[in-house]
Structure 1
Amino acid sequence: MKLFATCLLVSCLALLPATAAELKVDLGHGVITYRTETLLKRHDARTISVPDDVAFHRTMHYRAVPLAALLEGIGPDDHLQFVAGDGFAAEIPATLLMNTQGSEAWLAIEEPSRPWPALDKNRGRAGPFYVVWTRPQAARVGPEQWPYQLARIRTLGGVAERFPAILPDPSLPADSEVKRGFAVFQRTCFACHTLNGEGDSKLGPDLNLPHNPTEYLRADLLRAFIRDPQSLRQWPQAKMQGFDTHALSDADLDAVLAYLRHMAGRKPAH
């Protein structure tokens, strides 16, 4: 009984918002640490409204600072990784963060005196820091590019440079569906999964080792699973969110499945 009470207390504490959180940013010139109170006092902090917020699925209001203001010095060829406290690792190219098409990235900061509500489906909390976008449709910002529970931002080499084992056959034509699927995979799946043992996130299982999902799931079941994971296996504690047609078009889904089928034949030699 005592053990149960202790576990319950730990679980409840994990759901409470942090009162003194830190965000570490490393752009290749040393780590800069931003604290909640410092960010909230910045001259460029303001209240923004985000309709149809990705995490909360409704209009949300945040105290936030323009993310670009914290990333001064990055160039269009840079590649940034946003690492969450739960192991989620979103890869976002600097070109998207610097885009001139109307979308703007913000760092939302959870105020200790005004905590955000808990997320649904046992996902804990979104704070203390959360990357949100205004006018995301203008630059086709995907749901995986809204990392919450953010702990660290850093510049890294591109995904292909760091993880060569996830590359499709280089002899494929540039306009092949497989190569298009590889681009979709990086944007949607690679934030949670590894492939051929490579990748920074350990939130989800590897998608090629020991077996690729295209090897053991019928195509219709795999499609249904990606659209709604609970349609295949009902599991209240599951963390994977489904991808509707707004987040992943039918054409992009076809392409990522083509990439996965292709990679089933490109497993590393033992």
Structure 2
Amino acid sequence: MKLLLRCCLSLLGLPIFAHAAELTVDLGHGVITYRTEMLLQRRDVRTISVADDVAFHRTMQYRAVPLAALLKGLDASDHLQFVAGDGFAAEIPAALILNRHGSEAWLAIEDPAKPWPALSKHRDSAGPFYIVWTQPQAAQVNPEQWPYQLAAIHRLSDVAERFPAIVPDRALAADSLVQRGFVVFQRTCFACHTLNGEGDAKLGPDLNLPHNPTEYLRADLLRAFIRDPQSLRRWPQAKMQGFDAQALSDADLDAVLAYLRHMAERKTGH
């Protein structure tokens, strides 16, 4: 029966999608499932060019749909989580997706008949779905806000509300270095790591239990590791990518280290 269907589609000149993938979107008013073939046949699908792509480190072309078009009813105050198949969980405020600065988020769709190249010889494909940005500098989009191997998008409450054990001392001033570091931590480290046993990411180890990296690494070595993990320990299979000065400024690096040192004194009983 399947063979007959494929033959009929071929005769009619219609595309055949093998191993089509699914993306689920839950904004709190019912789960919507998007399949590869459905997305590639939408009227708003476009071929876009992405310069200096975060995953491939070169200019890439994709068949893509404007992300906002798939998130109907999204409000600027909403908070979204993008969950990847490898355990990466990016936290992205809706305000960034709805920004008016010129940066535009797109859902890039991998056509099974024309698969994307491998990320590297040690890493898997970025498909089936990948959030990419055009003009990302305009809204200061962070590299961690380009989730690939995407499987689901959820609207959730704020990170601090969901995970109170990662929140620094609330008595600290809002403009303190530690509070700034907490903000930086959420958009960078928290996409791969948990802290005090809390968080949804499954890609990297907990950053406070049993020991915080500020407790066992000299400050200069920890800074070097964050900039280039291979500078501390060469491991070809390592998944952590370094944060250069464009992705993480020296001031933001100082802030996130201040946050980690602060949280080393706030371990939970997990």
Question: Normalized against structure 1, the TM-score is what?
Answer: 0.92
Alpha-carbon distance in structure 1 between the residues aligned to 2:146 and 2:156: 18
Deviations 1:96-126 (A, max 9, x none): 0100011000000001121100002522000
- Conserved in 2, the CA contact under 8 Å of 1:126 and 1:149? yes
> Is 1:173 aligned with 2:176?
no
Matched, 1:216 2:223: no
1:111 partnered with 2:111 = yes
Q: Distance in 2 between matches of 1:243 and 1:28?
A: 34
Given that 2:18 and 2:113 are in contact with CA atoms closer than 8 Å, whether structure 1 keeps it comes out as: no
Counterpart CA distance in 1 for 2:105 and 2:147 is 11
Matches within 5 A, 1:116-135: 116-120=116-120, 122-135=122-135
Give deviations 1:136-178, integer Å, cap 9, x for gaps: 0000000000000000001000100000000000000111000
Task: Give the Cα–Cα distance (whole angstroms) in 2 for the partners of residues 51 and 201 of structure 1.
Answer: 28
Amino acid at match of 1:194: T
d(CA) in 2 for partners of 1:23, 1:114: 19
What one-letter code is carried by the residue in structure 2 that aligns with 1:231?
S
What's 1:102 paired with?
A: 102
Shift of 1:18: 7.1
Alpha-carbon distance change, 86 to 269 in structure 1, aligned in 2, over 3 angstroms: closer
Indicate how the Cα distance of structure 1 residues 126 and 18 shifts in structure 2: closer, same or farther if over 3 A, else same.
farther
- Give the 5 Å matches for 1:196-211: 196-211=196-211
Distance change in 2, residues 1:156/1:18 (3 Å):
farther
Q: Which amino acid aligns with 2:223?
A: R
Runs of 4+ in 1 over 6 A off after TM superposition: none
Query: Does 2:48 correspond to 1:48?
Result: yes
Residue 183 (structure 1) aligns with: 183
The alpha carbon displacement at 1:77 in A equals: 1.1
1:79·1:158 contact (CA, 8 Å) conserved in 2? Answer: yes
Are 1:18 and 1:128, in contact at CA under 8 Å, matched by a contact in 2?
no
Contact 2:50–2:61, Cα closer than 8 Å, also in 1: yes
Q: Which residue of structure 1 aligns with residue 246 of structure 2?
A: 246
Cα separation, 2, equivalents of 1:122 and 1:143:
20
- Amino acid aligned to 1:103: S
Matched letter for residue 129 of structure 2: F
Query: How many Å separate the matches in 1 of 2:88 and 2:247?
Result: 18
Letter of the aligned partner of 2:130 in structure 1? Y
Q: Offset at 1:269?
A: 4.0
Q: Is the 8 A contact 1:121 1:236 kept in 2?
A: no
2:210 is aligned with 1:230: no
**RMSD value over aligned CA atoms?**
1.1
Q: Secondary structure, in 3 states, of the residue corresponding to 1:190?
A: helix
**Quick one: percent identity of the two aligned structures?**
81
CA distance in structure 1 between the aligned counterparts of 2:171 and 2:39, rounded to whole angstroms: 48
Shift of 1:93: 0.3
Q: Which amino acid aligns with 1:51?
A: A
CA distance in 2, matches of 1:212, 1:154: 29
Do the aligned partners of 2:81 and 2:89 also contact (CA within 8 Å) in 1?
A: yes
Q: Is the 8 A contact 2:25 2:31 kept in 1?
A: yes
The one-letter code of the counterpart of 1:139 is A
Gaps of 5+ in 1: 1-16
Q: Which of the pair has more CA radius of gyration?
A: 2
User: Is 2:264 the partner of 1:261?
Assistant: no
For residue 233 of structure 2, give the secondary structure of its aligned residue in structure 1.
coil
Point out where structure 2 has 5 or more consecutive residues left out of the alignment. Answer: 1-16
Question: Which whole-Å CA distance do the structure 2 matches of 1:87 and 1:122 have between them?
Answer: 17
Aligned residues: 254
